[in-house]
Amino acid sequence: MNKPLFLYIVHRLSTEVEYFQPKQEATGRSGISPLQKCTATIRQLAYGGGADPVDEYLRLGETTSRKCLHHFAAGIIHLFDDEYLRRPTPEDLQRLLHVGEQRGFPGMVGSIDCTLNDLNILDRSPVFYDIINGNAPQVNFYVNGREYNLAYYLTDGIYPKWATFIQSIRLPQGAKKILFAQTQEPIRKGVERAFGVLQARFVVVRNPSNLWDKNKISNIMRACLILHNMIVKDERNSNTLEEFQDEDFTYTVKKATRPGNIIARRKEVRDPHIHQQLKQDLIEHIWNKLGHFPNNI
């Protein structure tokens, strides 16, 4: 994290969150400064150690350090959640679709990687609530000359055959399917790499957290995601956001339309026939795009 960004966070917390505002002790001396509190918290997030090691460096007791951590997480969520952990806007979707198309998968907006326990509650997952409720922007794209209107994620083989999931082929037979599997699998690893970056940046995400309740663990995880996005935005070259504005797209992104049949949309998301047709069209699309390169097979 760059120093100006860190000082900006300290300033926002010290002016808008009561716990971080400067106070005086009963003796009239200045209390713990906002800079001390934020530094202690960042060290706990970054190094993943306990609260007591910051005592020697920052003169904070273990209890105070832990309290700083939880107030810091709550403050970050309160101040920055709406900006740095919001749902994708139509402009965000356009960028994601552009990246997906450049990598050979028109209509792809990312990848998903969950554990088996997460899959057990997939039917109740909020991932596709916006689509089912008609709140998500409408996406239309073409693959192999066929039109589709549901963006999809790349997944591994344990996911169900929904229209919004495209898995690899476990034992591909034939040049076309082999090329599809070789193309899909490394791109699908994007979400795992992203989580690896998050763990390397905030070791607290990787370490056990048996001493905290679920709400505090959730807040810490959410705060780390927000801080990660703030760092990425701070380091990003502003020119990269406009680099594809003049290119021709095979997709369109429109504003959400609320009215509609929720049951029909839920059925469409889970339609195995759309899934199979889209997968076959992607196999043909990737073959037509990359099949003439012998090294890809």
Each residue of 143-184: pLDDT tens digit? 999 999 989 999 888 888 999 999 999 899 999 999 999 999
The Cα 63–Cα 72 span in angstroms is: 14
pLDDT at 210 over 60: yes
Q: Give yes or no: residues 249 and 124 share one domain.
A: yes
- Looking at residue 239, what is its pLDDT? 46
| Domain co-membership, 70 together with 100 | no
Q: Examine residue 216 and state whether it is found in any structural domain, yes or no.
A: no
Share of the chain above pLDDT 90, in %: 39
| pLDDT above 90 (res 225) | yes
Domain boundary among 30, 55, 85: 85
Do residue 166 and residue 69 come from a single domain? Answer: no
Tokens of 28: 């009239």
Work out how many domains the chain is built from and give that number. Answer: 2
Within 10 angstroms of residue 105's Cβ, the number of other Cβ atoms is: 24
Look at residue 194 and tell me if it is in a domain: yes
pLDDT of residue 263: 84
Same domain, 138 and 257: yes
Average pLDDT over residues 77-94: 89
Q: What is the mean pLDDT of residues 42-71?
A: 79
Q: Is residue 51 part of a domain?
A: yes
Is the pLDDT at 258 greater than 60? The verdict is no
**Is residue 52 domain-shared with residue 117, that is, in the same domain?**
no
Quote the pTM value: 0.78
- Average pLDDT over the chain, rounded to whole? 84
Give the DSSP H or E segment for 166: strand 165-167
Would residue 42 count as lying in a domain?
yes
- Domain assignment present for residue 8? The answer is yes
Q: Do 142 and 184 have their domain in common?
A: yes
Per mean pLDDT, which of 67-71, 99-103, 230-234, 277-281 is the most reliable?
A: 277-281
Q: Is residue 37 part of a domain?
A: yes
Domain presence at residue 73: yes
Domain that holds residue 16: 3-85
66 lies in a domain?
yes
